[in-house]
Structure 1
């Protein structure tokens, strides 16, 4: 190392083994299951809304895509749909599909069955409400009728 540069202490992340991954997953999901109901519902509401927005982006990208080569249109649709999933990950929103992993915390005895089911129901209903909110916004805005509904 050159003399004019100060030494750096770069921490290199280590890979976790399977047991550590499971433990980290259980810790995270046990914490999420303990959220207050209104927090869980709001996170689920935004999660459902983000996925619905991804679907709106997908549908919008496919309007007029018949002039593009088949593969290009599908890749474009895949890229814009994942925007919704990226929003879920980046904001920490809740999706029911991820909440089903809470079963690992239940299997290890860290949460009760009632906590598990309460979380599942809250997130599922919230995802549905979030998605339906976006559906209503799109429907009542009239965007669906652009290009004569084609």
Structure 2
């Protein structure tokens, strides 16, 4: 069967988290680099479609193409390992320690950052003809996105920071749902459908994804956006990473593990009612009811 039921899914999630912990440094970095590169190319594609058509929903509808390629090819995003790797630690898999968990997260972060920055530079070259002309319409839009989602939050102070954090939480709730949902199917069409819907939702609603932002904001800085690197770090990237961790682990990883991997003890069922040949409850049952 192509469908993996939830108890087996919980086991697959723990197994996946364990495998990522013991992956070699080289493979972890390569897979993280390529994951961010493909995802951010999808983001550049979605922004281009949105600007050229004037229809944000169409951009959101097409954005998941990059994400689907990431997981069909077995690459890793920080948002995904935030959800899966802690489950191997919680399940007490042999050799999985807090240090090995942090090592995995650190390597994936570095690989993702490298991939996102590479695409940011390459797309900036395209949008400016090798920095010889002002950015085109899509490039100008990337600069505007960077301003609105850094300085725009800062203008609201603590309320802006709270909004940014919650958008990070909601983002990885959706993104990790897509990562995990792909494991429910053994067919390519099933995996793609399972991933496509939650990823489209997060992008259209403007939630904050730390890896996508590693592309959007450096691009915006290179293309004339009116904000600083410190604005980007304080008023976007750092709170977004924390929100992504909380959202993916709390609302996806731990919930599925708790209810399907470590199912609670079922309640005692009531004894069946014995009936007479005439279909009436037995005499002792009638006394109880009376």
| TM-based fold match above 0.5 | yes
- Give matches, 1:1-150, under 5 Å: 12-13=1-2, 15-18=4-7, 20-66=8-54, 73-100=55-82, 101-110=84-93, 111-141=96-126, 142=128, 145-147=135-137, 149=140
Deviations 1:61-103 (A, max 9, x none): 022333xxxxxx2231012211111111221110011101210
Stretches of 4+ aligned residues off by more than 4 angstroms: 147-150
TM-score (norm 2): 0.42
- In terms of Rg, which structure is larger? 2
Rounded to whole Å, the distance in 2 between the matches of 1:92 and 1:135 is 22
**Which structure carries more relative contact order (alpha carbon 8 Å, separation 6+)?**
1
- Runs (5+) with no aligned partner, structure 2: 142-290
Aligned length: 132
Instruction: Sort the Cα spacing of 1:15 and 1:129 in 2 relative to 1 into closer, same or farther, 3 A.
Output: closer
Q: CA RMSD in A?
A: 2.0
- Runs (5+) with no aligned partner, structure 1: 1-11, 67-72
